Amino acid sequence: MEGTRSPTMVAQGIVDNVSKVIVGKRRVIEHALAALIAQGHVLVEDVPGVGKTMLVKSLSTSIGCEFKRIQFTPDLLPSDVSGVSVYNQQTGDFQFRPGPIMSQVVLADEINRATPKTQSALLEAMEELQVTVDGVTHHLEHPFIVFATQNPIEYEGTFPLPEAQLDRFLMRISLGYPDFEEELAVIERQEQVHPIESLKPVAGPQDIVALQEAAKGIYVDGVVREYIVHLVEATRSHRDVSLGASPRASLGLFRAGRALALVEDRDFVLPDDIKALAPAVTAHRIILSPSARMRGLSALDVVAELLEEVPVPGATR
């Protein structure tokens, strides 16, 4: 990392660079970067055409990391993701041909269009930063992050992600539609060429590794730690929840909170950081009861209700 740039300057430089392509979604970009700094993975769930793929491409370009895109389809095989061993007649040995997962930033595009068997091919890579092919383990480069895009499951031709797969994602984020002024800006920026074509790296892989190490030094007070656990525990006893968030959600909030504090130039985590991150970190880990689904309730509604009910450290009613 350049000596004249602090970790926060590097992080904000990345956010500014991505904002040249993704208009009006600075908070979403910061959360995506925080997930990268926290060494987590991100599920981007939204309707087609709002910039899910472009967010990932612009982020990978900005940090100068090797990028691979996997288009998930119903006929995609696990070996198409992880790679395959091929027999070499000249040497008499099997040679490993790496799949697209052997990269630094991996875009699993429309992950819910592939079968559960192929979806599970990502699990080992996401959790253990390695892939095993024919009994041989291959380690992945650092940094490594999977961005998976997903259309809402009510669309035809999709397979809902199993709970074990969902739990591997640190965050589930959504871009949403731009407002009127933002959509006008999108048209103007793409009038001649797409901004992604002129985007240049503003950091490198070593900078991201340094940010990940710097985030480990961010202070998290005891009351903030208790707030995290109280919030996650509350999902398990809510009347509209069949299965609450796992302890991985508590760890995720803890790590993401430190990363977000670093991005915002603080050496400590605020309860507001946890409140801002809770919907993205916990909602996709909650399974609603049948009655709640019949009433049209969503997991985000439950998290919003809990954020109102669980006392915030230092706050007064």
| Domain CATH number, residue 256 | 1.10.8.80
| Same domain for 221 and 171 | no
| Same domain for 134 and 4 | yes
Q: Residue 136's pLDDT is what?
A: 79
| Same domain for 145 and 25 | yes
| Domain CATH number, residue 3 | 3.40.50.300
Mark which of 160, 186, 215 sits at the end of a domain.
Answer: 215
Encode the chain (317 residues) as per-residue pLDDT tens digits: 445 788 889 999 999 999 998 888 999 999 999 999 999 999 998 888 888 889 999 999 999 999 999 998 888 888 888 888 888 888 878 788 888 888 999 999 888 888 888 887 787 788 888 887 777 788 888 899 999 988 775 566 677 777 878 888 999 999 888 889 888 888 888 877 888 888 899 999 999 999 999 999 999 999 999 999 999 999 999 999 998 898 999 999 999 999 999 999 999 999 999 999 999 999 999 999 999 899 988 999 999 999 999 988 865 44
Q: Residue 192's pLDDT is what?
A: 79
| Same domain for 195 and 60 | yes
| Same domain for 150 and 48 | yes
Answer for the pair 75, 35: CB distance below 8 angstroms, yes or no.
no
Residue 180 lies in a domain: yes
User: Regarding beta strands 83-88 and 130-133, do their DSSP bridges make them parallel or antiparallel, or are they unpaired?
Assistant: unpaired
Separation in Å, CA 11 to CA 7, 29, 164, 175: 6, 11, 31, 20
Distance CA 233, CA 240 (A): 14
Smallest Cα–Cα separation from 109: which of 31, 62, 48? Answer: 48
pTM: 0.88
Answer for the pair 259, 35: CB distance below 8 angstroms, yes or no.
yes
Q: Residue 1's pLDDT is what?
A: 44
| Same domain for 175 and 315 | no
| Same domain for 251 and 208 | no
| Same domain for 129 and 68 | yes
| Same domain for 122 and 28 | yes
| Same domain for 249 and 110 | no
Mark which of 184, 215, 246 sits at the end of a domain.
Answer: 215
Mark which of 215, 235, 254 sits at the end of a domain.
Answer: 215
| Same domain for 187 and 65 | yes
Q: Residue 14's pLDDT is what?
A: 94
Residue 20 lies in a domain: yes
Residue 81 lies in a domain: no
| Same domain for 229 and 207 | no
Residue 90 lies in a domain: no
DSSP for 39-102 reads T--EEEE--TTSSHHHHHHHHHHHTT--EEEEE--TT--HHHHHEEEEEETTTTEEEEEE-TTS
Residue 84 lies in a domain: no
What range defines the domain where residue 313 resides?
217-317
